[in-house]
Structures are given as structure tokens and as C-alpha cells.
Amino acid sequence: MSRPHLLVVEHDDKLRTTMINDLTELVGLSTEIVGVSTAEEGLTVAEQVIADSAVLPVAFVERTLPGMSGAELALTMHADPVLSPTRLVLVTQAASLSDVDAALSRGALQGMLTRPWSRIGLREQLRAQLATYHVEHDPDGLDVYGDLIQPDDRRRARRRIAQRRAAPGSGDDDSRHVLLEPRLGPDEVVDRLVAALDQVLGHPPRLRVGPGSVLLEQGADVGGIYLILEGEVELRRHTDAGHRTVHREGTGPIVGLLSLATQQHAFLEVRAVTEVRALPVSLGQLARAVAAESDVGPLLTRTLVNTLANRLRDADDLQVRIDVLNASLEAERDQLAGALDALGEAQAALIQQARMATLGELAAGIAHELNNPTAALARAAEHLLTDVINLLDDDETADRIERARHREAAVSADLRAARRAISEHLGDRSLAERLVGAGVTDLDEATNLARSPATIERLTIANQLGTELRNITTASARIGDLVKSLRSYLRGGEDNPIVVDIDITETVEDALRLVGHRITTATMERTYEPIPSAAVRPGQLQQLWTNLISNALDAAGPFGHLRLHIDAPDPAHVRVRIFDSGPGIDPAIRHQMFDPHFTTKHGHVSFGSGLGLSICRQIVDAHGGTIDLTSEDHDHDGTVATVVLPVDSTLQTGEATA
């Protein structure tokens, strides 16, 4: 029987010699080693060896050769039924395998040897390849290799040979054990699968690719699977909306199997995220491994189950994340809707504000325009009087007109009293009524006039004329006052400049001088403590104190008591408190007392009084201070008005001092 042959195809003489020497050292004389320098020569030698009825278990082929490449030689031999049993080990220096993909995926390459090889690496490669070859093709030839093939190797080989000879697929009890073994972790399963595949397939070559390399394209025919040994791959899907990563951490150690099992094109793209070391296994290799090694099937199944379980968990996780995301999107949408509502309200408020501002300008314009007719009215009343007096040549009538014009407005009760008195005096109610209508209240005058009814008639008209002129003057003066207070309110006191070094106590005293005529029967107590001087608008403050003191006097009543207390609660603020002995503030009106137009003093609206507290608040705000009216001070029965002003109000208004 002829010796088995080993073929070395290497263009470089030196490398070929080294390889032949290293192999000789391993196999001794048991094997014939043939070295050639091209693939074409190698093919001829291989065919010759087989033709000589010798076996050619392994060929070591350099990857880069002039002419036919190592991969092409592998494919050619793989396609030839006579040469296909020979196990082809590709010798290469490069880590990249781009031009050997076809050979790898069709199972034409059975091993890879990286140059420079180690002796141990070469020996392990040779051992595995020889064992596999002989188990599959030449069961009896395994013994010739001496020390290279150990007794263990032979035993294992014998068992595998026995399994091959038994009916394929019958399996044994161990297979169920591997599938169901609960303590077998996923990594361990992969390790064992890889070991089993190595054994059956004679240590198939590993693929090493860089990050971003595509191992399997979406839609491509799937010819095998990849076992990921190191590194990380992701499964991606191209959609109209771009690339979507479907699995990354949950990819698992095995890719391509799902498509392979369902005979479909690759559903997803397999792409390396990091540098990846993978074991490509073709469909044919897989079938062979499953048939040859009873553990492979269960291990494969288990790995697949683990992989699918991982991906399912990944998908479940994704679903939960989508739900959470949806919930938070919904919350954000609600929040947005709320914000939109608030925006609408703010806008409505702004529109209202703008409308009020327009109204304010309009009011200021009208107020200004009212000055002319009001002045005309007042002057006309004056001139009317002059003209009427000139027209008359009757001093008594003229005097009666003048008297009526300068008389205080009549009080109804006084008129009734006068009428009653005259009626009793003259004994004629109707006459008394006419006399009172003529402005007569004096009994003697009444007695004199009673004798000349014609005079009464004339004096009545004169009295009316005077009264009407007085009413015109009073009414136009009131319009003038209303216009003035309205304009002052609308302008916000811009006519009042800020003055530094003002003693606020003096502004209070000024105000007291203005309202002093009102303090007749009421009593007042003043406590002035030393206070720092301040930068304020003194004109406005005077208006403020006038309003507050007037209010307090109104509340206290004619025989009430007022107490003024001025002090400095801290060096930066001045506090003015006005206590009155009045009935306090009705809680029902508390909330509206700072509103414009609110007044409880008269039966009608008056800007002079109705805007009082509203103006007070405006002035205090402009000074950056606070105003507070309370009736809930337990030490005091009536109302306390408290105004606190900062010493330097320019800090609040940001205006330059004058």
C-alpha cells in the first residue's frame, strides 16, 4: 500500500522548504510530501496521486499564487468528486478574507493557517485534518502517522467511525441530555458546539472582520450560518425610513440560522459592530456535522433556542420601551395642550390689556377735549350774568340774582322749614310756597313782599336765574375736577419728578395742611420718629397721604380719633401708619377696595374719590413700596392703613433722580 501524500503549494521557495521541513518533522517517513510552486502544478500532482491509488488527505495551499489563486484551486478541487475529499488548508498572512468568501461559503476550504505559523498550530491543524479525513474517507489509514495521532485521537475517531456506520440519525441518550441539561450555560453550549464542529469539520477556518463589515446582506441567499466567537454584531433592517437596528445586545452567538431553517433570503443584514471573529459554517458542513456527531444537532438546537429566546426578550423589552415612550408622549401631549390653553388665556389677557390701554388713551383724549367745552360753559355762565344784569335797570332784581348765584345750594329740609314758618306767620300756605320759591326765608322780608304779588313773581324768576347760573358754574367746575383727576390717574403722575433727600414726614405734614379744614371736631395724635431721608416723588406722596387721611376721617366720623405714626422699621424703609377709630372694613367689600371706581362714600361715582385707593396703590407701587389696609389689628378697633416705602425708590423704578 502506498504512503499517503501531503501537498504543499507555495510559490516562495524558502517558505515551501520551511513548510515541507516542518511537516516532515511531524509525520516522519510515513508520508510523502510533495511541494509545488503553482496551483496548476498542484492540481496535476493531486490528480496523479489519486490516479496512483494513493490518498491525498491534506493540501496546504498559499493564498496568493501567480495564475490560479489558492481559493480558486480549492474551489476546483471541491468541484471534482475525485479530489473533493482532500482537505484544503489555506496558508495566508492577511487577516482579511475578502477574496476567499466564495471558497469558504461553499465549504471548499477546510482550514486556515496564518503565516508565520507556530509548530504547535501546524501540528494541531494537521492532526485535526488527518483525523477528519480518515474518519470520513479512509478509516483504516489513521494508524500510519506514528506519534502525531495519539491513542485518544484514535479512540475518538473509532467512535465516530462506528457512529457513521450505524444508521444515521438514530442518535443516542446523550443527545437528549445535552438538549435538556439545565446547568449548561449559553456560552458553554456555544463552546461545545464549536468544539464539536471543529472535530467533525477538521477545525474550519475562522473569519476575522473589522467594524462595519457586512457578514450577510439583507435579501441575499443564505448558504450557511455564522457562529460569533468574539466581538459584537448587530442585525439591521433597511426600510424606507432608513436603517433600523433590530437587535444588538440580543443578537446571540449564531446568525443566519433562522433564514436557513425557513429556506428564505436573509431577512436582516448582519453587520459587525466591533472587530468580529466568526466561524462560518456552510449548509453542507452543517449537515455533515449533524450527521457525524450526535452532539451537534442538540447543541445547535440549544444554541438556536438560546438565540431566539434572547431576541424574543429583546423584542419584549422593546415593546415595553415603546409602551413607556408612548405613555410619556401622551403625557407630553397633555402638557402641551395645557400650555396651549394657558397661552390662549395669556393672549386673551394681553388683548384685554391692550384694549384697556387703548381705552386709557381714548379717555385721556376725551378728558383733554372736555376742557374746552367745560371752559366755554363756565365762561358763558359768567357772561350771561353780566349781560342780564346790564339788560336790567332794576337793582333789586339784579341783587336777587347775585344773591341766588352766590348762595349755597338749598337743602330741601331747610326750604320746607322756611315754608312752614312763613306759612304760619302769614297764614297762607300757597303764598309761603311762592315766597320760598323766590328765595325768601326771612319773615320780615316775607311780610313786606306779601303785599306786592307782582314783585314776588319777578323775584322768583331772578332767584331761579341766579340759581341756574350757579348750577352751571358748579356743574362745569365738577366736570373740570373729574377731568383733572382722570388725567392725573391716566398719566400716573408723570408730572411729579423724583426728588432725593426728602423727609417723608414733611410730605405728610403738607397733606395735613390740605385736609386740615376737615379736622374740626375730630381729634388727631401724631407720633413722628426719626426716619432716613428718601428719594421719592413728593407730589405723589402728598396725594397718597391726602387720600388715606381723608378716608380715615370719613371712616372715623366727625367725633372720631386719628393717630399718625411714622417710623423706620429698618434703615432702608420708612413706614407710615394711619389708625382711625371707625367701624372697620366690611369684609364683603375688602377684595374690591383697591379697584378703580369703587366707592362707598357717595351715591354716585366720582373719580376724585372712587379712584382714591386705586391711585394710592398705583403711587405706592411706583415707589416700590407696599400698602395694606386692615381692620383685624387686635390692639386697635378701627382700620389701620400701613404704607412701607423703600428709602431709595429709584432702585425699584430704575429712573434717574432729578
Return residues touching another protein (CB under 8 A). 409-413, 415-416, 420, 429, 464, 467-468, 471, 474-475, 602-605
- 627 is written with which cell numbers? 400698602
Q: Between residues 125 and 551, which has the closer beta carbon with respect to another protein?
A: 551
Q: Between residues 214 and 384, which has the closer beta carbon with respect to another protein?
A: 384
Residues 236, 227: Cα–Cα separation, whole Å: 17
DSSP state of 3: P
Q: Between residues 363 and 410, which has the closer beta carbon with respect to another protein?
A: 410
Please report where in the chains the cell 440519525 appears, as a residue: 169
Q: Give the H or E element holding residue 398.
A: helix 395-406
CA distances from 20 to 5, 31, 169, 221, 265 (A): 12, 11, 40, 40, 44
Give me the least distance between CB of 381 and another protein, in Å please: 12
- The DSSP code sequence of 37-84 is SSHHHHHHHHHHHHHTT----EEEEESS-SSS-HHHHHHHHHHSTTTT
Residues 223, 256: Cα–Cα separation, whole Å: 9
Give me the least distance between CB of 471 and another protein, in Å please: 4
Give me the least distance between CB of 638 and another protein, in Å please: 20
Q: Between residues 86 and 423, which has the closer beta carbon with respect to another protein?
A: 423
CB 142 within 8 A of CB 149: yes
Q: Between residues 129 and 374, which has the closer beta carbon with respect to another protein?
A: 374
Give me the least distance between CB of 464 and another protein, in Å please: 7
Give me the least distance between CB of 484 and another protein, in Å please: 19
In the chain, the amino acid numbered 443 is L
Q: Between residues 2 and 474, which has the closer beta carbon with respect to another protein?
A: 474
Give me the least distance between CB of 399 and another protein, in Å please: 20
Q: Between residues 163 and 599, which has the closer beta carbon with respect to another protein?
A: 599
Give me the least distance between CB of 415 and another protein, in Å please: 7
Q: Between residues 177 and 420, which has the closer beta carbon with respect to another protein?
A: 420
Give me the least distance between CB of 587 and another protein, in Å please: 20
Q: Give the H or E element holding residue 244.
A: strand 242-247
Residues 210, 222: Cα–Cα separation, whole Å: 21
- The DSSP code sequence of 153-213 is HHHHHHHHHHHHHSPTT---HHHHHHHH-TT--HHHHHHHHHHHHHHHHTSPPPEEE-TT-
State whether residue 567 is helix, strand or coil.
Answer: strand
